[in-house]
Amino acid sequence: MSKLVSQTNSGEASVLRFCRTLGLSGFREFRVALPGRLSAIKPGD
């Protein structure tokens, strides 16, 4: 999470809120879900 926090110039709490806004329980679930969700996006969407 620290890399994401530093690259987005935000705080850990903001990243956790973002994950929860997406309907996820936290950053760990975000890391697991992200590759699958990205692969579901078709080019040009």
- Model confidence, pTM: 0.75
Domain ranges of the chain: 2-39
Q: Which residues of 5-20 are buried (b: 16+ CB within 10 A; e: fewer)?
A: eeeeeeeeeebbeebe
Which amino acid belongs to residue 16?
Answer: L
What's the confidence (pLDDT) of residue 44? 75
For the cut 70, the answer to whether the pLDDT of residue 3 exceeds it is yes
Q: What is the pLDDT of residue 23?
A: 95
pLDDT above 90: residue 38: no
Per-residue pLDDT of 4-21, as tens digits, reads 999 999 999 999 999 999
User: Model confidence at 30, in pLDDT bands (50, 70, 90)?
Assistant: very high
